[in-house]
């Protein structure tokens, strides 16, 4: 979850660190905009996602971003 004090460059660096460490899927939730960025190990990025999908990492898992921000 992005906090108001997080700088975009710092968030990108953290995501890259996680992917470099072998994480297969990173969700960055922006509570202000109520969307998420989905980063995958293959380098693909989905911006402005309103629904999270676990893909191959968490098969069958889905969750609306709004449900996380109750």
Tens of pLDDT, residue by residue over 20-47, are: 999 999 999 999 999 999 999 999 999 9
What's the predicted TM-score (pTM) here? Answer: 0.91
Domain annotation covers residue 1: no
| Residues 59, 33, 66, 39, Cα dihedral to 10° | 10
Q: Which range marks the domain in which residue 25 is found?
A: 8-68
66 contacts: CB under 8 Å, gap ≥ 6: 34, 50
Domain annotation covers residue 42: yes
Domain annotation covers residue 3: no
Domain annotation covers residue 2: no
The share of the chain scoring above pLDDT 90, in percent, equals: 96
Number of folded domains in the chain? 1
């Amino acid at each position: 979850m992005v906090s108001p004090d997080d700088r975009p460059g710092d968030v990108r660096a953290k995501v890259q660190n996680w992917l470099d460490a072998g994480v297969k899927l990173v969700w960055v939730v922006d509570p202000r905009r109520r969307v998420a960025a989905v980063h995958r190990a293959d380098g693909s990025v989905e911006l402005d996602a309103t629904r999270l999908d676990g893909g191959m990492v968490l098969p069958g898992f889905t969750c609306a971003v709004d449900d996380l921000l109750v």
